[in-house]
Structure formats: structure tokens, C-alpha cells
Amino acid sequence: MKSLPFLNPAAGSPAVRNPGRPAVIVPTQAIDAEELAAECAAAAATGIVDAVEWRIDPLLAAASGSVLTRAEAALSLLPRALTAGLPILLTVRTGFEGGQVEITEDDYAEAVRALIAGATGVEVGDRTAAAAGVESGVPGAAASGVPVAIDVEIDRAESRSLIASAREAGVPVVASHHNFEVTDSAERLLATFTAMSEASADVAKVAMMPQTPADVLRLLEATSTADASSAAPVLGISMGPLGRTSRIMGADFGSCATFAQIGQASAPGQIDAVVLAEILDRVTG
Ligand SMILES: O=C1C[C@@](O)(C(=O)O)C[C@@H](O)[C@@H]1O
């Protein structure tokens, strides 16, 4: 298991203190500033969360105007998320992959490009994000010194150029691929991990729906194989109740992080974050 590459050392969260422990990432689907600030603060207050994923697809779906206007509306809220001090993973989960925003390939690329620019240019206080990133040495750090990373769906038409743009801007990238129906074949899973690694993603993540225990095993084996052959951290998730082994013991198969819920889950099978942290305390110390 490799470490999640956008932890915030200053947060002193469990994965920061113990590099052998997978990062716990908690999603928020907040669509306004108050909800976002409150959910990030609540996650930080538990002391067991390492990063927050802000799923902005519900906000993009609810807002009106061009995709650029809607992405900018989301970005204007980002400083509220950063005040809690936990790293933020910005995710536009499209309808293609089980998310809430129906979006064209062109609009997805435009939204992600706007988010990359915003993640490097967020102003908190009087320093620019890019300057703070250089000073703090934290990749993708916003002005507060809190890392901001971005999710890019590897199957989107412009994924490779989006990943290249994010890396050029110093924003860490989590490449994603989801199948909410079944679990891909072993060959397809490995090809997906390889494509993510070849595109230079900072984390290669797949989330699959199992139908049988053998599907969970195939996902875990592919994750472990990909971890052994890739320089970048990997993350393999088997969703639904059947896949919970992957969310609890995934680190033993190479996963650098696990998604857990506080309040609303963002995918089937997520475990309560506090309960999961207690289990991880017991099994990983
Ligand atoms: O990609 C992922 C993983 C996930 O689908 C899960 O299964 O926990 C949850 C999503 O919010 C996130 O973007």
C-alpha cells in the first residue's frame, strides 16, 4: 500500500500519523456554502477523516447557466471547504458513471479545466494558491496550504489531456472508472489500471459492483496486481454490501484509501466513517 498523495500533514489525521493506514475519504454532496462548511467542519471534528471528497455533480445539476458559470459557482464555495483543513478532492461524477449530472463530453472537459484553474488560483487571505503550493511543498496546495485534488474519469474523451493539464498545474489527479452493474473482467480491470498509470494519474481508482463473492476476489486481485506494477497508488472498490471487505481490508490488497460515509453515502456499501475508523484502529493500530 502506498500513501494517498494529497494528505495534509498539518491536519495530523490518522493516515498522516501512520503511513501504514489507508486514508479515510468522506464524501459531501453539499450544494450551498453553509452546508459545505458545516459538513467539512464535522468531518474534521471527528479526528478520523483524512480527506473530504466534494461531489459537485449535484450542485452542477441544480445550478443554471453555462457549464462554465456553474463550475465557477462551485469554485466560489471552495474556500469554505478549505477552512476545515482537510484535503479536498473535487469530483464531477457524470451520468455516464453513476453521478448526478448529465453532461456532454465537451462540457465535462470544460468544467474540469475550470476546476483545475480554480484549484490553483483559489485565494484565501492574500496569497495565491500556486504560491502557497510552492512554499509549502504540498502538491496542489491552495493558498491555505490545504491540498486540492481533482477526479478525472478515465473514459471521458479528453481524460488524458485533462490529467496532463492538472499535473502541469500541480493539482493531484485521481483517475476513476466505475461500473455500477457488474464487475469488469480481470483483463479489463488491469487494462484500466494500466491506462490510468500511463496517463500519469496520481491515484488509479476503480469501483465495481459485484454480483458474486468471486467478483470481489477478482477486484481485489486486480488491485493488488496493479499496486505491484505501478509507481502510483491504486484504489480498488467493490461496492454494495457484498463488497465491504474491500472497504475495510482494501489496504492489504494495495488500496491507498477507503471511502466512508458521514450522513449521506455517495455510493452503495459505504460504511459509517467512525465505525470504519474503529475497525482500522483495531486491525492496523
Ligand atoms: O469514485 C468514488 C468511489 C465511490 O464510488 C465509492 O464506491 O465509495 C464514491 C464516490 O463518491 C467516489 O467518487
Q: What is the ipTM of this complex?
A: 0.99
What's the pLDDT score for residue 285? 65
* Proportion of the chain above pLDDT 90, given as a percent: 87
Residue positions counted in the chain? 285
Rounded distance between C-alpha atoms, residue 13 and residue 7, angstroms? 8
The reply, when asked if residue 70 is annotated as ligand binding, is no
With beta carbons less than 8 A apart as the criterion, state whether 231 and 198 touch.
Answer: no
With beta carbons less than 8 A apart as the criterion, state whether 159 and 204 touch.
Answer: no
Mean pLDDT over all residues of the chain? Answer: 91
Sorted by where each starts, the structural domains of the chain and their CATH numbers stand as 9-173+256-280 (3.20.20)
Residue nearest to atom 11 of ligand 1 (CA): 266
Ligand 1 mutation pick, 28, 55, 93, max ligand atoms within 8 A of CB: 93
Which residues have C-beta atoms less than 6 Å from ligand 1?
27, 53, 55, 91, 93, 151, 176, 205, 207, 237, 239, 259, 266-267, 270
What's the pLDDT score for residue 144? 72
How far, in Å, is the centroid of ligand 1 from the Cα of 56? 13
Rounded distance between C-alpha atoms, residue 85 and residue 141, angstroms? 11
Half-sphere exposure of 210 (CA within 13 A, CB side): 22
Q: Please name which of 262, 281, 284 lies closest in space to residue 84, comparing C-alpha atoms.
A: 262
**Closest-lying ligand 1 atom to the alpha carbon of residue 53:** 11
In a 3-state reduction of DSSP, which class is residue 218? helix
Q: Please name which of 122, 117, 148 lies closest in space to residue 54, comparing C-alpha atoms.
A: 148
245-266 average pLDDT score: 96
CA angle 106, 111, 116 (to 5 degrees): 125
What's the pLDDT score for residue 145? 85
**Closest-lying ligand 1 atom to the alpha carbon of residue 268:** 7
How far, in Å, is the centroid of ligand 1 from the Cα of 129? 27
pLDDT higher at 267 or 128: 267
Residue nearest to atom 4 of ligand 1 (CA): 267
What's the pLDDT score for residue 136? 34
The reply, when asked if residue 266 is annotated as ligand binding, is yes
pLDDT higher at 71 or 131: 71
Dump pLDDT digits (tens) for 10-51. Answer: 999 999 999 999 999 999 999 999 999 999 999 999 999 999
Least confident of 45-54, 58-67, 88-97, 125-134: 125-134
The reply, when asked if residue 160 is annotated as ligand binding, is no
What's the pLDDT score for residue 46? 97
Work out the widest C-alpha separation in the chain, in whole angstroms: 54
Instruction: Please name the residues in contact with 255: beta carbons below 8 A apart, sequence gap of 6 or more.
Output: 1, 22, 223, 227, 234, 235, 236, 237, 246
The reply, when asked if residue 159 is annotated as ligand binding, is no
How far, in Å, is the centroid of ligand 1 from the Cα of 16? 21
How far, in Å, is the centroid of ligand 1 from the Cα of 259? 7
Helix-helix angle 33-46:67-82, to 10 degrees: 40
Dump pLDDT digits (tens) for 183-231. Answer: 999 999 999 999 999 999 999 999 999 999 999 999 999 999 999 999 9
pLDDT band (50, 70, 90) for residue 127: very low
Q: Please name which of 13, 94, 9 lies closest in space to residue 56, comparing C-alpha atoms.
A: 94
Dihedral, CA of residue 204, residue 206, residue 212 and residue 217, to nearest 10: 0
Dump pLDDT digits (tens) for 74-92. Answer: 999 999 999 999 999 999 9
Dump pLDDT digits (tens) for 131-181. Answer: 433 333 334 445 678 999 999 999 999 999 999 999 999 999 999 999 999
Residues labelled catalytic: 178, 205
